Amino acid sequence: MRILHVTHQYMPEYVGGVELYTRWLAHAQMQAGHEVSIFYRRSGEGTGLESRGEDGVRVWAAWHGPVTPVRRLLATFWDPSLIPLFERVLDETNPEIVHVEHLMGLPVALSGTLRRRRIPFVVTLWDFWWRCANAQLLTNYDQTVCPGPHFHYLNCARCALARAGRPGCIVFSPFLAFLMAWRNFQLLQVLRAAAALIAPTTFVEHWYANHAAPRETLRLLTPGLEHPSALPSCQRESDGKVRFLYVGGLSFQKGLHTLLEAFAGVRGTAELWIAGDETFDPAYVMHLRSLATPNVRFLGRLTRPEVWAALVNADVVVVPSLWYETFSFLVSEGFVAGKPVLASRLGPLADRVHDGVDGLLLPPGDVMAWREALQRLVDMPDELARLREKVRPPLSLTEHEAALTSLYSQVIAGR
């Protein structure tokens, strides 16, 4: 089978859940005997297209000027320079199916190109960008969870003004509301044209079904995780410390300020390890460091082997998110390493972590509740051991790839 993955960004420029999954899946598909390529947009002066080999997978990078927040938004409506570049990739790869991992910063006209060429495509709903320009259902004006567009998109206009640093310019609200409504209309046409919409969790499936996505093409398909065949050996000292670990983005919606404020009041022998790229939001990282006590360690951006080493040497994985995570690979990584997970009782996290069984679920943003939970695991090693015993490994990448290939086959066959 000839497969082309389309995504908004890719490594090495960006490393995140979608980028890692795209790479894992592409290589798993290639090892299963398929011919696999990846197309993504990167930032760069001028216009161009280049390809490179990545252990048997062909990666195509297209660019048309620097990618800024404004250009990323406007590209959704139209970016004519990217269309012929995409068509060149289609000519070279001749895919039987296209898997859209993300379309942010790419024009919706790409789906029109696929329809004209009669190439079926599927979409994975990795976040809420298809209905929320902020992608995370977290408002820019008061940092609270948003139910989605309402009040004729005036709430979306308010969010856009706050993000632009112009919250008081309400004179632009009608125009921005129209722009957001038009954006969502365009993206909805892409979702309706897709042969299948893949939801990574039940929460995402239901949310999109309740926000205009066609129910008949929604498919629940749990993502698999690429992990080493053998985990690294534990190198930690036997000092009795309970080590809590967070790995991921260092940004407000991840709730790390709540975690640090909670951890500052924990008594006893404990450490908090925080791993993530500190250059993405330097101001927020500075705030986090101001909250950190001496027993907090900032590990920086880790390689994949370093991530697994940190997981093996930690005792508990923490996911204090303030927004609706659509899946969270960190939960999967924690379970692979046999670690219980402390997570926010919010969205899919509440489905993936079983409270009191393989982890604990806590109110998002509640410093005292998080502090009590952290303290509980420091004071009660038997409780920590009990939670650890109930941890079960998540779906493997091999199992996920097989299920996805079955879906591809049905789509290609027109079913």
Beta bridge partners of 98: 4, 121
Mean pLDDT across 355-367: 97
For 55-87, how does the pLDDT look when each residue is reduced to its tens digit (9 = 90+)? 999 999 999 999 988 889 899 998 999 999 999
Element of type H or E holding 3: strand 2-7
Q: Taking phi first (over 0 means left), then psi (-120 to 50 degrees means alpha), and beta for anything else, what does residue 153 get?
A: left
Distance from chain centroid for Cα 35: 25
For 156-168, how does the pLDDT look when each residue is reduced to its tens digit (9 = 90+)? 999 988 888 887 7
| Listed range (183-187, 199-203, 223-227) with the worst mean pLDDT | 223-227
User: Which residue reads 């500052």 in tokens?
Assistant: 264
For 272-288, how does the pLDDT look when each residue is reduced to its tens digit (9 = 90+)? 999 999 998 999 999 99
Mean pLDDT across 173-183: 91
Mean pLDDT across 247-253: 94
Q: What percent of the chain has pLDDT over 70?
A: 100
Q: Residue 390: is its pLDDT beyond 80? A: yes
pLDDT at 415: 61
- C-alpha pair distances (Å), 297 with each of 272, 292, 310: 6, 8, 12
Q: Residue 234: is its pLDDT beyond 90? A: no
CB contact set of 135 (below 8 Å; sequence gap of 6+): 104, 127, 128, 129
User: Which residue reads 């509980």 in tokens?
Assistant: 376
Structure tokens at 231: 């985990």
Structure tokens at 349: 């996290």
pLDDT at 70: 87
The CA dihedral of 16, 253, 228, 402, to the nearest 10 degrees, is -70
Beta bridge partners of 27: none
CA atoms within 13 A on the CB side of 277: 9
Report how many helices (DSSP H) and strands (DSSP E) the chain contains, helices first. Answer: 15, 14
Q: Residue 170: is its pLDDT beyond 80? A: no
Q: Residue 414: is its pLDDT beyond 90? A: no
Question: Which domains are seen in the chain, by residue range?
Answer: 2-135+181-224+396-412 (3.40.50.2000), 242-389 (3.40.50.2000)
Q: Residue 257: is its pLDDT beyond 90? A: yes
For 308-337, how does the pLDDT look when each residue is reduced to its tens digit (9 = 90+)? 999 999 999 999 999 999 999 999 999 999
State the Rg of the chain over Cα. Answer: 22
Q: What percent of the chain has pLDDT over 90?
A: 84
Contact 248, 256 (CB under 8 A): no
Residue type, 358: D
Mean pLDDT across 356-377: 97
Contact 336, 310 (CB under 8 A): no
For 106-138, how does the pLDDT look when each residue is reduced to its tens digit (9 = 90+)? 999 999 999 999 999 999 999 999 999 989 898
Distance, CA of 116 to CA of 102 (rounded, Å): 20
